Amino acid sequence: MQTITRRWLFYFTLVLPTPLYAQPAAQPPPVQTIKLTVHASPVAQPALQYALLPEAIDQQRGNAAALYMIASKLPPAAKELWTKADDYNAMPLEKLPQQEVEQFLSQFSEVLENVSMAALRQDVHWDSGLRERGISTPLPYLNDVRNFNRLLVLRARLELARHEWQAASRTMQQALSMARQLGDEPVIIQGLVEQGVTESTLHRCVEGWIADGNSPNLYWDLSNLPAPFIDLHALAQWERAEVAFTDPQLRLALREQLPPEQWRQVIETMARLGQLAESVEGEGHKAPAPAEPADKLIQSAANSARQFLESSGMPREQVEKMPPEQAVGAYFVRQYRQIEDELWKGWELPVYQTAASMAHSEQDLAAAMKHQPANPLLKLLPRVRTARYHLARTERHIAMLRTIETIRDYAAHHDGHAPKSLNEITDLPVPADPVTNKPFSYSTQGDSAVLEAPQLSDAPRMVAWKYELQFVK
């Protein structure tokens, strides 16, 4: 991720595999099915003794990023070791070779020591240079964080296998704290790595905790996580500022404060960035073609530009006095800001309230991109709707885990029997599905139950969840 091209390649290949402004795939993703053995367990006393984020009393002052950097500069692990860590983390807890895993983790003792201290730091300042470099900013620490999470998850799973509940909760604290620390100056890709680290911890550790027959109940600990867990407001603010940070002249242009004689140069910058954003570099891909010359772009867009500016309320006399490059530049900027606002306006609303609006805005973007010549700035807009659906997975996952813990608490007070309906649970608040704002689907048959989070009609790319629960008295 040393150049803008590699950064966009990382963004699309690992997170958003469809083209930037393409229509969403018609085929929805498969239902994610998770099978859990469930044992009765009343809510823990004290209620928050297994808190999943560090408390203020346990935090230390200082910048966590410095300690993560130290951990990343220690002798690097061979690729085979990370693969081995993944293999261990994929094993059922009861089959985890405990002594072998302990020996494996001992190779990373110094790394884990620094990561554990970093996760308990009160502050984090990645200081990536985003304000100076914009969309060309490399974010190498994201790969380091993913590797650190592999180790924390494995250590927590070893502690779970040994029923060391306090130790496991502290390690899970560190993993989730590290994820939250990615909320410093977060752009979308940083937020999605934060979501991935969180999901890994919930799936590999929290679900493993719940499935153990002797595990304490985590209902209140899960309920006290921030909601939403990922700071949507901060992510939107930094992502939207990223293009302006890329070039000082472009920043002035986006505010329409650029002197008329500088518009031609800025249009060249727009064309270059747009060309880089839609191209990928690397094995199996062609290098980006030369950007369209500014003169040609100005000439072909001039009529559309003047029509757009007049339709947006600019007086005809003012439009006619504009040099062609200023009119085209102002057109590109205004269209970009208008569509960008439409894409982001519902970002912080729950998915069930904003899915239809986001889909409509994405269609408007696709239509604008079909108009020739296409506004090169529009190629810099991310797939906001798809990113929002990815982040909503975490909100939904936490709510489903909380619901399972209400079922375990109910069973503890009813001779090990699960409720026939979620309406029977009255001792604890049962979460609604944050994606639909409706109760989760729940059904029982004998000693088994199914808890489902269905697909949303306005959000076909939202992953549906199903927990198949097998109760053991």
Q: Which of 8-17, 200-209, 351-360 has the highest mean pLDDT?
A: 200-209
Asked whether the predicted pLDDT for residue 169 surpasses 80, the reply is yes
pLDDT of 22 reads 31
Amino acid (1-letter code) at residue 248:
P
Name residue 253's amino acid.
A
H helices of 324-450, in order, are 324-344, 351-370, 384-412
Query: Any bridge partners for residue 472, and if so which?
Result: 39
Residue 104's CB is within 10 A of a number of other CB atoms, namely 17
pLDDT at position 28 = 54
- Going 47 to 50 to 51 to 52, the CA torsion angle's sign is negative
pLDDT band with cut points at 50, 70 and 90 for residue 283? very low
Mean pLDDT in residue range 405-428: 95
Backbone φ, ψ for residue 280 (5° rounding): -125, 150
**Are the beta carbons of 462 and 351 closer than 8 angstroms?**
yes
Written as one string, the DSSP assignment of 308-332 is HHHHTT--HHHHHHS-HHHHHHHHH
Alpha carbon distance 164, 219 (integer Å): 18
What is the residue whose two structure tokens read 């590797």? 147
228 touches 398 (CB < 8 A):
no
Is residue 36 within 8 Å of residue 470, measured between CB atoms?
yes
Helix, strand, coil percentages in the chain from 3-state DSSP, rounded to 5: 60, 10, 35
Q: Is the dihedral of CA 352, 441, 32, 416 positive or negative?
A: positive
Quote the pLDDT of residue 213: 86
CA 217 to mean position of chain CA atoms: 27
Summarize pLDDT for 27-55 with one digit per residue, the tens.
Answer: 556 788 999 999 999 999 999 999 999 99
pLDDT at 16: 35
